[in-house]
Amino acid sequence: MKLIIKVKEKIEKSKNIIIAGHINPDGDTVGAGLALLLGLEKKYPEKKIEFVLQDSIPKNISFLKGSEKIKKIEEVINPNYDLAILVDSATIDRVGTVFNLVEDVFKINIDHHISNSKYGDINIVKEISSTSEMMYTILKELDVEMTLEMCEAIYLGLVNDTGNFAHSNVTDKTFLVASELMALGVNNNKIVNEFFKTKSFEKMKVLGTALSEMVFVENKKLMYFNLSAKKLKSLNAVKDDTEGVVEELINYSGSEVSLFLREDENGKIKGSLRSKYNADVNKIAALFGGGGHIKAAGFTSELSVDEIIKKVVENL
């Protein structure tokens, strides 16, 4: 039986559905999950459907209509779910504490990461630009009517994961989806302005600090920047304000790989990696228990900053 038919059957049999995405949610997780939430709510008004995340969504995504419906885990009152749909999450632990709500529930895993561990009872895992691009096709196959709110959410997911249609994960199909979304009413300039051109003063300062304090490891063509918790605080910035730094570091003509390290409140180090040409940063992230894609990956580690940098340099 075609996977999508199984998915449809499972949705139709379920009464209480949870949609979940990864910690530190980005535009793709939110876009794909929100489009699914709004679509299922419209098609199946009798069902209870919740989109639950461990963390708040970034400020520059909260303009999406319907995003106010996304619940943080502490707002969940009566779980009792009979179906969990996980989006943009390569492994089950990527959902963070939401794991406790989905552990014993039938799982549909919808994702586009090369490192996906196929943890679902049904796995729809494809190498494609974004989970949002996949979601567009899935929603059409589920005969869900696309509203403008859903189209905007998906468009934002595409913009997020393709770097506004610039990365190597863009295909002719990606543009076709974008074109269909625009035909359905999406204003691309509005989405891009809201998403990229609404940086806080603190975010600009973080970027400036990164660009003036970055370090280049010549023999590995690696550009890196480490942001301590103390420095983040002194800039009056929050985690959200560090989004996009790793993409700037790879813009240097000499860089082939960029690494951004951020110390979180719990002392752990969050790492983000990008690759311009052939270096496989998914493999590097995996050395620290993380993953992602060949050209964009991440991890969280308990090692020290020096140990992390040493290990990355040794393995490039």
Site for Mn ion, rule CB under 5 A:
28, 88, 131, 161
Given the complex with ligand 5GP, which of 21 and 39 has the nearer CB atom? Answer: 21
Residues 76-115 that bind ligand 5GP (CB under 6 A): 90-91, 94, 113, 115
Q: Which two tokens stand for residue 174?
A: 């990606």
Is residue 63 classed as helix, strand or coil in its secondary structure? coil
Cβ atoms of 7 and 19 closer than 8 Å: no
Given the complex with ligand 5GP, which of 65 and 268 has the nearer CB atom? Answer: 268
Q: What is the DSSP letter of 38?
A: H
Contact pick of 123, 140, 300, 305 for ligand 5GP (by CB under 6 A): 300
CB of 286 to ligand 5GP, least distance (A): 8
CB of 292 to ligand 5GP, least distance (A): 3
Partner in contact with 296, chosen from ligand 5GP, Mn ion, none, beta carbon below 5 to 8 Å by kind: ligand 5GP
Looking at 57-65, 213-221, 295-303, 306-314, which segment touches ligand 5GP (CB under 6 A)?
295-303
Given the complex with ligand 5GP, which of 224 and 299 has the nearer CB atom? Answer: 299
Q: Which two tokens stand for residue 65?
A: 């209509």
Given the complex with Mn ion, which of 135 and 308 has the nearer CB atom? Answer: 135
Cβ atoms of 37 and 71 closer than 8 Å: no
Beta-strand pair 269-275/257-263: antiparallel
Question: What is d(CA 127, CA 113) in angstroms, rounded to the nearest whole number?
Answer: 7
Print the binding letters for residues 191-230 with ligand 5GP: x by CB under 6 A, - otherwise: ----------------------------------------
CB of 77 to Mn ion, least distance (A): 29
Given the complex with Mn ion, which of 158 and 316 has the nearer CB atom? Answer: 158
Given the complex with Mn ion, which of 28 and 280 has the nearer CB atom? Answer: 28
Answer yes or no whether residue 58 interacts with ligand 5GP by CB under 6 A: no
Cβ atoms of 141 and 11 closer than 8 Å: no
Of 178, 157, 175, nearest in space to 36 by CA: 157
Question: What is d(CA 220, CA 199) in angstroms, rounded to the nearest whole number?
Answer: 31
Given the complex with ligand 5GP, which of 203 and 293 has the nearer CB atom? Answer: 293
Question: What is d(CA 226, CA 231) in angstroms, rounded to the nearest whole number?
Answer: 10
Cα–Cα distances (Å) from 3 to 112, 209, 210, in that order, read: 16, 48, 45
Of 153, 151, 31, 13, nearest in space to 83 by CA: 13
Answer yes or no whether residue 298 interacts with ligand 5GP by CB under 6 A: yes
- Roughly how many angstroms between the first and final C-alpha of the chain, as a whole number? 43
CB of 231 to ligand 5GP, least distance (A): 19
Answer yes or no whether residue 261 interacts with ligand 5GP by CB under 6 A: no
Cβ atoms of 60 and 195 closer than 8 Å: yes
Neighbours of 174 (CB within 10 A): 20
CB of 88 to Mn ion, least distance (A): 4
* Site residues (vs ligand 5GP, CB under 6 A): 22, 90-91, 94, 113, 115, 246, 272, 290-293, 296-300
